[in-house]
Amino acid sequence: MTYPKVPSSHPGAALGVPSSPRFPEIEERILAYWERDDTFRASVEQRDAGTDGENEFVFYDGPPFANGLPHYGHLLTGYVKDLVPRFQTMRGRRVERRFGWDTHGLPAELEAMSQLGIKTKDEILELGIEKFNDACRSSVLKYTDEWRDYVTRQARWVDFDNDYKTLNPTFMESVIWAFKGLHDKGLVYEGFRVLPYCWNDQTPLSNHELRMDDEVYKMRQDPAVTVGYLLDSTGEDAVLDGAHLLVWTTTPWTLPSNLAAMVGSQIDYVVVEAAVPGREDGTTARFVLAEARLGEYKRELGEEPRVLGRYTGAELVGRTYTPPFSYYEGHENAFRIVAADDAVTTTDGTGVVHTAGAFGEIDKEVTDREGIEPVMPVGADGAFTFPVGEYEGMLVFDANAPIIDHLRAATRGSGETGSVTPGTVLLRRETYDHSYPHCWRCREPLIYKGVSSWFVEVSKFKDRMVELNGQIEWMPEHVKDGQFGRWLENARDWSITRNRFWGSPVPVWQSDDPAHPRTDVYGSFEEIERDFGRLPLNAAGEPDLHRPFIDSLTRPNPDDPTGTSTMRRVEDVLDVWFDSGSMPYAQVHYPFENADWFEHHFPGDFIVEYIGQTRGWFYTMHVLSTALFDRPAFTSVICHGIVLGSDGQKMSKSLRNYPDVSEVFNRDGADAMRWFLMSSPILRGGNLIVTEEGIREGVRQVLIPLWNSWYFFTLYANAFGSGGAGGAGGQGYAASSSTASTTPLDRYLLAKLRQLVETTTAQLDALDVAGACDSVRSFVDVLTNWYIRRSRERFWDTGSDEGAADTKAAFDTLYTTLEVLTRVTAPLLPLVSEEIWRGLTGERSVHLTDWPSVDELPADDDLVAGMDRARTICSVASSLRKSEKLRVRLPLRDLTVVVPDAASLTDFAAIIADEVNVRQVSLLDLESAGDSDFGVTQKLTVNARAAGPRLGREVQTAIKGSKSGDWSVGEDGTVTSGGLELVEGEYSLETVVEGGANSSRATAVLPGGGFVVLDTEVTPELAAEGLARDVIRAVQQARREAGLDVSDRISLTVTGSQALWEATVAHQALIVEETLATQFGSAPQLEALSLGEGTTEADLSDGESVRIAVKKLA
């Protein structure tokens, strides 16, 4: 036995390679081999890095959180993270693949809190920060073993032993160095800003965090109210004095903090009179709102309310009013109408916007501009505090109901009104459905709240970020100037501090006495030790920048001559995205170590994550890299879409709307899953629905055909030498790489292989992974459904010298093709490719070879073009057969091919005839053949929208000409209709096949021009041959079922009807040749053979049946 050339243990394999492989078993064996052989390390180390790393391909592995098990998103990203480095390694580059772990932030804290059974920050403080952070440290590494098993099983090569963790002191030191670098450049500041705020986790979020996940914004019902503020009387305008300024808000809980009311200076407002809601005494009041909004308040204000006055917003500016609640009465500069043209519209509400400076971004900008100090009656936990006494301790969302109740009672003049001011009116209470932001970690609804935070002043250098984005190659390309580019253009300052416990510290110390202000920023252990005389040490005596160790470092304020104030660290920790954004330099402890290495390996060559990371990791890396190095952090990136469940919804464990990954691995294999994901539109930015059928389709389309090609090769190569007088048990043929064959099919396959190498190289260079998969799928179809099927007889050794030479050429061609093809598929299907390549060559690993070069393979563009054209003709003709219900094994008389330059197909006529199974192929030039003779016509359609602007009214003349047949195509291709010349784009020409009365002819149009006509008449002679070929197929199946080898000679007896017997007699030579029947007999009666051992019965076409007796001959 010649193949496979490496020992294998395929159970039940004929001659060493099974016809029906169990891919998961093959994969497990390959994975075990890789581990024994240390193949991954060898693949990296055999590639030279170059003097300054110029031959290295720098890949950044985005760090996942290890406190949860991997999911489909990790699986998808992991496959790409493996595929691209494998490809680049085969291209000769050295590609280090260092795994990383994201360990800080709220995910770790929430997991630790769950394990500790605590829910609040107060409980954390009661437990102690040190104990809590110890729990965080344990939780983040909880599933590292499971991750390693998972990543290994998916055949992803990555260095776990040299991983980096964001909790390591070296990583954290680089992080604080980055902070200090930003501070030294004047790009960091402390400020009070209104930010998205999670009251559950008691920390602000950055604006970019709201755009990372589609589920951050969820539909939510909230109460909306329209409230009338009582305008103060000035004595100057009787219409406005004592009127009610109507404001609309979807956050009633912010009304106690109202400080101003915004109007549009150019908007028209009216004062109308209407009844006060809920007042039984018929009391009326005057209400002020935008005139454009009157129609929305017909129910409360009447169908046609009496207009008492009209004003522009500019005329209302400066008027004061009584706040709706009394908590802050007398607040300086507050409770007046201000202009805010960019913030006020008439598309909803009343055209007047309630303003609470501490609870809205625009509110804060306006109150700052107007010199109004914000008020903050809401604590870190999202509950009301002093002076809002009635609602103190109540979560703001829960306070909506009692606030509305108090407003309603005050309006009616009865009941408990709380601190609602007299004259305040609740005009309307409604339910409002809107898309509302939620915390991406705990999923609770956020509030907007003023907080003190440290910010990176992104607005200072966002233009430079846009410029540097131009140096990055994006897949898909539209993300560059689309989702990512637009985000950069509108980038806001980044809040980088969090009021939490487990994370890199904000390396800022400030004086605790405002009378003696001082701020110190540190960027290294050395700087900290210099000023504090010691390092922050944990319980093990190791330097540790985590809380509470870093918090314990204090020193006297050098700027305080009294010596009473102390420098204390700002208690916040850094946003976890600051950690991950620092990954390129922090993973190598830059600038404290590896400075020269970093300079030659930055920016990275490649990263990949899902589309949401345009607001996350991609963004934060780009921000920090631009600010610190004036360079992009990476030069190429794949931005993939989102993996969805089989129902098109988000994957849900409770709904079980996706196939379990382990089950897929155990049933279909990791390569099957890889192919399904890598060949999908998800790598071009689209979303992907995961179904078991989709995964298995990849197995059917690519894995099985590829394996069948390998099986076919081994089956016949091992049987070589058993033909002719040699009998069974050949010595086998050891094929070799060769492109010397002159046989057209061999030359065609090798030329197509060259095109595959050229195309996939360009596609993978451009990160078009899905495109590369398409190219491989198309080539495998050519290999299996054209080359092997059409060359099958050539692989059988007939015993003659001439036949043996052609057989060896076929083997060498197929060997060469499989060897090159498995190198191309190695990054796409690493496990199956390894199995085939090693079995084919006997060498160590396909992943230690070089990517194939087009120079290895011959080019023959004319042959490829002609053969591809012939394949298209055969495909269309076969479809005609199918539509006419004429089976492939039934020979037909003639196929007429009418095409441009028909003579160029002369060399392929015999192939077409054999493939379509016709006795004759007639080739006619399209220019000279009479289309109408074959029921083929051309139809002209005039595009009125395109031609109208040029032809004007005459376009109708052209349309009429196209419909009446008054049109023509000149020799130069000019199209004229109704006497009017049309230009390209104004018309379309379509070839139409019309049904005719001639039932013995079927016609179909060819793509690219021309048509084929199939003679469908079946004569008795043709029917007999078709029946004989049906018998051959049934005999071959009987051979397989009997377990015979491909080279075994047999004694064959067949019985059936009189027609079947006559067919077998007439075509006996064909039958015995095709079935290797040394002895043959037949009888015109089905029952002449009794069913039993060695005899089977099969149903053929047209109601025929055959009994077959097969016996192996010695």
Confidence of residue 726 (pLDDT cuts 50, 70, 90): very low
Q: Do both 1079 and 944 map to the same domain?
A: no
How far from chain centre, in Å, is Cα 78? 12
Question: How does the average pLDDT of the chain come out, rounded?
Answer: 93
pLDDT in tens, 587-633: 999 999 999 999 999 999 999 999 989 999 999 999 999 999 999 99
Statement: residue 182 has pLDDT above 80: yes
For residues 658 and 966, the model is more confident at 966
* pLDDT computed for residue 723 by the predictor: 56
pLDDT confidence of 286, banded at 50, 70, 90? very high
- In the three-class reduction of DSSP (H, G, I as helix; E, B as strand; rest coil), residue 606 is classed as strand
Got the DSSP string for 1085-1109? -GGGS-SBTTEEEEE-GGG-EEEEE
User: What is the CB-side half-sphere exposure of residue 673 using CA atoms within 13 A?
Assistant: 30
- Tens digit of each residue's pLDDT (9 = 90 or more) over 658-697: 888 999 999 999 999 999 999 999 999 889 999 999 999 9
Residues 423 and 312 in one domain: yes
Query: Confidence class of residue 725 from pLDDT cuts 50, 70 and 90?
Result: very low
Mean pLDDT of 333-342: 97
361 and 246 assigned to the same domain: yes
pLDDT over 80 (residue 1) = no
74-97 residues labelled b (16+ CB within 10 A) or e (exposed) = bbbbbbbbbbbbbbbbbeebbbbb
**Residue 678, domain member (yes or no):** no
Q: For residue 887, which of 1110, 1108, 1107, 1104 has the smallest C-alpha distance?
A: 1104
Q: How far is CA 613 from the centre of its chain?
A: 11
Is 1090 found in the same domain as 986?
A: no
| Cα dihedral 151, 156, 161, 162 sign | negative
Return the structure tokens found at 750.
């090798």
pLDDT exceeds cutoff 70 at 724: no
The reported pTM is 0.86
Put residue 528 in one of left, alpha, beta given phi > 0 → left and psi -120 to 50 → alpha: alpha
Residues 1031 and 996 in one domain: no
Tens digit of each residue's pLDDT (9 = 90 or more) over 933-946: 677 778 899 999 89
Q: Which of 436, 456, 477 is the last residue of a domain?
A: 436
Q: What is the pLDDT of residue 12?
A: 43
Q: 609: which strand partners?
A: 639
- Strands of the sheet with 473-475, listed across from one edge: 473-475, 636-640, 607-610
* Residue 401 within a domain: yes
Cβ within 8 Å of residue 45, ≥6 positions away: none
pLDDT at residue 2 in the model: 84
- Strands 1095-1099 and 1077-1083: what pairing? unpaired
Whether residue 1011 contacts residue 991, with contact meaning beta carbons closer than 8 Å, is answered with yes
* Position 727 confidence tier, pLDDT thresholds 50, 70, 90: very low
Cα–Cα separations (whole angstroms), residue 1000 to 298, 398, 480, 936, 1014: 76, 81, 58, 16, 8
Q: How far apart are CA 620 and CA 507, in angstroms?
A: 19
Query: Cα(655)–Cα(644) distance, rounded to whole angstroms?
Result: 12
Phi, psi of 436 (to 5 degrees): -130, 140
pLDDT one-digit tens code per residue, 875-931: 999 999 999 999 999 999 999 999 999 999 999 999 999 999 999 999 999 887 765
- Residue 652 confidence (pLDDT) above 70: no
Same domain, 262 and 398: yes
Kindly state whether residues 993 and 1030 are assigned to the same domain: no
Residue type, 106: L
- In 561-669, alpha helices (H): 576-581, 583-586, 595-600, 617-629, 661-667
pLDDT tens digits along 58-95: 999 988 887 778 888 899 999 999 999 999 999 999 99
Q: How far is it, in rounded angstroms, from Cα 449 to Cα 391?
A: 17
- What CA–CA distance (Å, rounded) separates 552 from 564? 18
Q: How many domains does the chain divide into? A: 3
936 and 1082 in a single domain? The answer is no
Alpha-carbon gap, residue 187 to 457, rounded angstroms = 5
Q: Which of 436, 458, 480 is the last residue of a domain?
A: 436
Residue 944's contacts (CB-CB under 8 Å, 6 or more residues apart) are: 955, 959
For the segment 1086-1105, the average pLDDT, to the nearest whole number, is 91
The pLDDT of 256-277, averaged and rounded, is 97
Judge whether residue 519 has pLDDT over 50. Answer: yes
Residue 273 domain boundaries: 221-436
In-domain check, residue 493: no
Token reading at 1052: 């064959």
pLDDT beyond 50 at 14: no
Please check whether residues 921 and 999 belong to one and the same domain: yes
Q: For residue 999, what pLDDT band results from cuts at 50, 70 and 90?
A: low
pLDDT tops 80 at residue 11: no
Query: How many whole angstroms separate alpha carbon 501 and alpha carbon 133?
Result: 7
Q: Which residues contact 281 (CB under 8 A, 6 or more apart)?
A: none
The domain boundary residue, chosen from 982, 1010, 1038: 1010
The pLDDT of residue 830 is above 90: yes
> Which residues does the annotation mark as catalytic?
63, 102, 577, 613, 617, 650, 653
pLDDT at 299 over 50: yes
Is residue 535, in this structure, part of any structural domain at all? no
Residue 1090 pLDDT greater than 60, yes or no: yes
- The per-residue pLDDT for 441 is 80
Q: Is residue 412 part of a domain?
A: yes
pLDDT at 1000: 87
With respect to residue 1026, please indicate whether it lies within any of the assigned structural domains: yes
- One-letter amino acid at 227 equals V
Residue 420 lies in a domain: yes
Alpha-carbon gap, residue 716 to 106, rounded angstroms = 61
932, pLDDT greater than 70: no
What would the two tokens of residue 237 be?
A: 């305008």
| One domain, residues 282 and 417 | yes
The answer for residues whose C-beta is within 8 angstroms of residue 840's C-beta and 6 or more apart is 3, 4, 5, 710, 713, 815, 818, 819, 822
> In terms of Cα–Cα distance, which of 862, 860, 921 is closest to 894?
921
Q: For residue 426, what is the domain's CATH number?
A: 3.90.740.10
Residues 1005 and 1025 in one domain: no
- Is the confidence at residue 530, as pLDDT, over 80? yes
133 is a domain residue = no
Mean pLDDT across the stretch 348-375? Answer: 96
pLDDT at position 141 is 86
Distance CA 709, CA 505 (A): 59
Per-residue pLDDT tens over the stretch 200-251: 989 898 877 887 676 789 999 999 999 999 999 999 999 999 999 999 999 9
Question: Is 90 exceeded by the pLDDT of residue 959?
Answer: yes
* Tens digit of each residue's pLDDT (9 = 90 or more) over 451-484: 999 999 999 999 999 999 999 999 999 999 999 9
Residues 901, 1050, single domain; the answer is no
Estimate to the nearest angstrom the gap between the alpha carbon of 194 and the chain centroid: 33
The predicted pLDDT at position 206 comes to 83
| CATH code for the domain in which residue 1075 is found | 3.30.2320
